[in-house]
Amino acid sequence: MDDTLNLAVSELIERADNNAKITIAECEGLLNMIPKFTQKHSLEETRAFLDYLGSPDENIRIIHVAGTNGKGSVCSYISSVLTKADYSVGLFTSPHLVSLNERFAIDGKPVSEGVFVEVFVEVLRRVAEYDENDYFPTYFELLFFVAMLLYDVYPVDYLILETGLGGRLDATNVVRKPVLSIITEIGYDHMEYLGTSLEEIAAEKAGIIKTGVPVVFFDKRKETSDVIKKVALEKEVRAICVEDKNIEDVSFTGDEGGNKCIAFSYKSLYDKYADLRLATWALYQTQNAAVAVTALEILRDSGADISELDIREGLLSAKWSGRMEEMRPGIYVDGAHNIDGIQAFLDSVSRISCEGKKHLVFGIMSDKLYKDIISMILKSGLFDSIYVTILESDRSVSMSDLKIAFEDSKDELGIIGLPIKYYSNVRDCITDVITMRKSGDCVFAAGSLYLVGQIKSAI
């Protein structure tokens, strides 16, 4: 372990031993130091440290979820339904929008700051005691270990475990025997790590499939579905596909309290569910909900006591922050950040009625296909004005590159007169949009979950 990191860890542990109050911000500060001093470990190394923690995964019923888009939403829907069915449910997802403890939830609520800090320090203590080639986990590996120890110390009936990146080599893939694997929609993202073709990306996601563990997946593209089916056949496991054609009767409506929601029907493996409702106006969530329903049916096959009423009430009560979330009346934020995600976002925007004008707040990371995404946004013709902002991250696209991308796309598409304003920070950008919008106008934000988090912090 690097001396600087070692000192920071030792000081935090010592303060905890002296009963000093440690904040979640201090934990995050230490986490942010880690990328400078360590790099990703092999699955064998990760598994070895998990065993040092006592192999907590072997005492937990784990639902393992991978995919490009929709992972967090599927996790949220399953968690909400299982909670309605009177199970205690743990949830480990990433990234967080505002606070680290958002990544760790029990029964749909983030664990307290005190619980997070307690387990975080204990994992650091175990790392400091671990005598194996100067080992220190990466940022994500450390949080994964926190999750595994947390749900061992605070037991749950089910733990829904979302991969961080990919699947095959993801730290979460060291769990030995989940009860179910789920692969959501697969598309282009993180190509520098996962491959440049959809088949290569699908193979990485399908790496979570394990012998004897059924897998539910969303059947969007033949080339990705064929890869998943092939891996499932090789592992001799049941593969259950969820098809878009079985989602019908989609409409925008309201619940009994007058809140906005989507109604739809879904023909599942065993039944047809009519008039299912989701507390969102994001059209793409019908697909994620369908995946969740199918996964819940597989769990029911294995003995889980889940009723149709649990499914209906659980889906409607589920909330997943940052996915076409209406933060305030007429202000929607969505974490879409890749081609498929942006297309789904635009499809939803096109269906949302607005008395006045539609404005877009946009910010994106440089490792995304931002030029193609900007072209898609402009080509859609959905927005009357666009507010472009730099994100508070070293990975943000620069101001100059954003201006070039927007101007080049406008020229290529022959767009004249569309107002585009640029901002050096999210706070000034969202403040300006909210201040200038008129009654009946709608504001949408998309491009990055980091943008969503920074807007939440600003307003």
Q: Which two tokens stand for residue 43?
A: 């699955």
Q: Is 359 helix (H, G, I), strand (E, B) or coil?
A: strand
pLDDT digits (tens, 9 = 90+) for 13-48: 999 999 999 999 999 999 999 988 888 999 999 999
pLDDT digits (tens, 9 = 90+) for 276-334: 999 998 999 999 999 999 999 999 999 999 999 999 999 999 988 888 999 999 999 99
End-to-end CA distance of the chain: 39
Domains along the chain with CATH numbers: 3-317 (3.40.1190.10), 325-458 (3.90.190.20)
pLDDT confidence band for 133 (50 / 70 / 90): confident
Q: Dump the DSSP string for 113-134.
A: HHHHHHHHHHHHHHHHH--STT
Task: Identify the DSSP state of 216.
Answer: E
Helix (H) or strand (E) holding 151: helix 139-153
pTM of the model: 0.93
Q: What is the pLDDT of residue 255?
A: 75
What are the Cα distances from residue 173, in Å, to 154, 262, 357? 22, 34, 46
Instruction: Give the mean model confidence (pLDDT) for residues 378-403.
Output: 96
pLDDT digits (tens, 9 = 90+) for 219-231: 989 999 999 999 9
Q: What is the pLDDT of residue 259?
A: 81
CB atoms within 10 A of CB 309: 10
User: Helices marked H in 34-132 — which ranges?
Assistant: 43-52, 71-84, 113-129
pLDDT at 131 over 80: no
pLDDT at 1 over 70: no
What are the Cα distances from residue 184, in Å, to 67, 68, 288? 5, 7, 7
Spatial distance between the Cα atoms of 81 and 296, rounded to a whole number of angstroms: 8
Beta bridge partners of 442: 358
pLDDT confidence band for 258 (50 / 70 / 90): confident
Q: Which two tokens stand for residue 115?
A: 């619980």
Round the CA-based radius of gyration of the chain to a whole number and report it: 22
